[in-house]
Structure 1
């Protein structure tokens, strides 16, 4: 039968509980002036465009006129499977 042991024996050692050294977080750019982030990349993400639509009652293909439930975007038109060049 194994010997009973205290849970403290399974705890962290002092080495494990000391805070890790902080990473180099110098944001001054080396000349003591703050580094400005590229705001255009953060503030203006590219617009999202749906590449397909699904309509329960169906919708007309903008090229052939066939009524379909699913249409794909092709050069600005919502088209059926047969009109979409893959």
Structure 2
């Protein structure tokens, strides 16, 4: 049976280029920075959340069924097609 090991035993295993998160390429301790001088811990992505489009549902499911927005047929599952939720027959696949 393999011996139990701490995760700390593997911390330097990911250090392939001689650097780690705690030390820079010169081995000095300090905050790691990207090659362009930005902080490596900075968030990746937009900082203005108003510019991000919110996620939208691609389908809905109703146990009692719901009317298709195009044909009116009552179905359990409807898919988004433009602004409408439609049955499988009305969806533009």
Q: Same fold (TM over 0.5)?
A: yes
Partner residue of 2:74?
Answer: 67
RMSD: 3.2
The unaligned stretches of length 5 or more in structure 1 are: 1-11, 13-19
Q: Supply the distance in 2 between the matched residues of 1:39 and 1:85 (Cα, whole angstroms).
A: 35
Structure 1 length as normaliser, TM-score? 0.56
Greater relative contact order (Cα 8 A, min sep 6): structure 1 or 2?
A: 1
In structure 2, list runs of 5 or more residues that go unmatched: 1-8, 10-19, 26-31
**Deviating 4+ runs (over 6 angstroms):** none
Between structure 1 and structure 2, the one with the greater Rg is 1
* Count of residues in Structure 1 that have an aligned counterpart in Structure 2: 63
